[in-house]
Amino acid sequence: MEHGGRGECALAPATGAAVGGVPYGGRVRVPRSAAVNGHEPVTTSDDAALATPAAAGRRGKVEAPTGRFADETRLGLVRRARRMYRSLIVAFPDAHCELDFGNPLELAVATILSAQCTDVRVNLTTPALFARYPDARAYAEADRTELEELIRPTGFYRNKANSLIGLGQALLEKFDGEVPRTLEELVRLPGIGRKTANVILGNAFDVPGITVDTHFSRLVQRWGWTTEDDPVKIEHAVGALIERKDWTMLSHRVIFHGRRVCHARKPACGVCVLAKDCPSFGAGPTDPATAAALVKGPEAPHLLELVGR
């Protein structure tokens, strides 16, 4: 998906899955009396977040930030990541999936169309598409030329038409026309890989998941949460820092922040609500007036008010 930038989505595995030989979601006991970086330790109920550095390294490499975060421990990283997420909740209380859809099939179709295309363009295209093709049978029996013309504005329309027709046929043959609810079944469908499958699971079926698009991966690396580049490894690394129940909304809020404030080339550091916890502060303008001009989106007045602008 894109919204002024391209992205791919993925879902972290359920607690208990093995990652690099380490149980994902396992517990490590931490002394309650040990304070780290001036913060009280998290109790053993935090599960995977408290894994030892060695175990954490097998899940996903954790970047060693410079400056005041140079000596950050694993527990310090967990606490910092969760502070940052709490700030994102305040900054983006209404974050959400920016693709318009009314049911799982519509989300599957919209996500397929979003490859190499902005969410805005997809949302301009799908109303007529959804009206013309309301169910799996309609896609399975679609006239290819007509379908291609409807989705042409999203780009790569021939390949996408193949995927949509194949998707409709597979849903009819294997799932009585309904979109399945498991990753294993979804990834067998035409046009749906792991990442598209996890967008559907997280947003249509309320399965907590971490959506790793280009914004998400860029920001968590910039924040020193992980140095991994592979989306699945990023899922595991971030999933070990943040509680599972927050994964889906974490994804939306990180992506919102990347689109509005923490831009790839020129982040608005001087007005960022995460500045005090960000190892990369200074990658963009730190002067508040200069940085304020870089903030985008309808949330801009709210975001600037939070930092006293």
pLDDT (tens digit per residue) in 21-64: 323 333 333 333 333 333 333 333 344 454 433 333 334 444 45
CB atoms < 10 A from the CB of 213, how many?
25
Q: Which pLDDT score, from 0 to 100, does residue 133 have?
A: 98
Mean pLDDT of the chain: 83
Q: How far apart are CA 251 and CA 272, in angstroms?
A: 18
Q: Which residues are annotated as a binding site for [4Fe-4S] cluster?
A: 262, 269, 272, 278
Percent of the chain surpassing pLDDT 90: 68
Same domain, 274 and 191: no
Q: How far apart are CA 187 and CA 99, in angstroms?
A: 20
Same domain, 109 and 195: yes
pLDDT of residue 232 exceeding 90, the answer is no
pLDDT tier at 193 (50, 70, 90 boundaries)? Answer: confident
Residue keyed to tokens 């002394």: 31
Would 146 be classed as within a structural domain?
yes
Specify the CATH number for the domain of residue 156.
Answer: 1.10.340.30
Residue that terminates a domain, selected from 179, 204, 229: 204
Q: How far apart are CA 173 and CA 272, in angstroms?
A: 50
Describe the crossing of helices 247-260 and 214-222 by its angle, rounded to 10 degrees: 90
From the candidates 195, 233, 276, 296, give the one annotated as an active-site residue. Answer: 195
For residues 77 and 56, the answer to whether their CB atoms sit within 8 Å is no
Would 70 be classed as within a structural domain?
no
Structural tokens at position 33: 């009396």
pLDDT tier at 226 (50, 70, 90 boundaries)? Answer: very high
Q: How far apart are CA 180 and CA 177, in angstroms?
A: 9
- Domain interval for residue 199: 104-204
Q: How far apart are CA 253 and CA 251, in angstroms?
A: 6
Q: Span 160-187, mean pLDDT?
A: 96
Would 162 be classed as within a structural domain?
yes
Q: How far apart are CA 107 and CA 125, in angstroms?
A: 13
Q: Which pLDDT score, from 0 to 100, does residue 7 have?
A: 40
195 in active site:
yes
In the chain, the amino acid numbered 199 is V
Same domain, 273 and 198: no
Would 28 be classed as within a structural domain?
no
Would 180 be classed as within a structural domain?
yes
Q: How far is CA 124 from the centre of its chain?
A: 22
**Higher model confidence: residue 120 or residue 55?**
120
Same domain, 110 and 199: yes
Structural tokens at position 93: 């209380």
Residue that terminates a domain, selected from 204, 221, 244: 204
**Higher model confidence: residue 69 or residue 283?**
283
From the candidates 213, 230, 245, 246, give the one annotated as an active-site residue. Answer: 213
Q: How far apart are CA 299 and CA 253, in angstroms?
A: 12
Would 139 be classed as within a structural domain?
yes
pLDDT of residue 302 exceeding 90, the answer is yes
**CA trace torsion 188, 139, 208, 306 (10° rounding):** 140
Q: Span 182-208, mean pLDDT?
A: 89
Q: Which pLDDT score, from 0 to 100, does residue 235 have?
A: 87
Would 17 be classed as within a structural domain?
no
pLDDT tier at 208 (50, 70, 90 boundaries)? Answer: confident
pLDDT of residue 69 exceeding 90, the answer is no
Q: Lowest mean pLDDT of 96-110, 224-238, 275-289, name the range.
A: 224-238
Q: Span 232-241, mean pLDDT?
A: 93
Q: For residue 43, how many C-alpha atoms fall within 13 Å in the half-sphere facing its CB?
A: 1
pLDDT of residue 14 exceeding 70, the answer is no
Q: Span 152-171, mean pLDDT?
A: 98
Same domain, 195 and 109: yes
Same domain, 108 and 200: yes
Same domain, 111 and 189: yes
Q: How far apart are CA 191 and CA 105, in angstroms?
A: 13
Would 82 be classed as within a structural domain?
no
For residues 192 and 112, the answer to whether their CB atoms sit within 8 Å is yes
Percent of the chain surpassing pLDDT 70: 79
Describe the crossing of helices 119-132 and 144-151 by its angle, rounded to 10 degrees: 150
Domain total of the chain: 2
Q: Which pLDDT score, from 0 to 100, does residue 122 have?
A: 98
Q: How far apart are CA 72 and CA 82, in angstroms?
A: 14
Q: How far apart are CA 25 and CA 12, in angstroms?
A: 11
Running DSSP on this structure, what letter comes out for residue 118?
B
- 37 backbone dihedrals φ, ψ, rounded to 5°: 50, 35
Q: How far apart are CA 41 and CA 34, in angstroms?
A: 6
**Higher model confidence: residue 42 or residue 158?**
158
Q: Which pLDDT score, from 0 to 100, does residue 214 have?
A: 87
pLDDT tier at 65 (50, 70, 90 boundaries)? Answer: low
Same domain, 265 and 200: no
> Which residues are 23's β-sheet partners?
18
Running DSSP on this structure, what letter comes out for residue 2?
B
In the chain, the amino acid numbered 39 is H
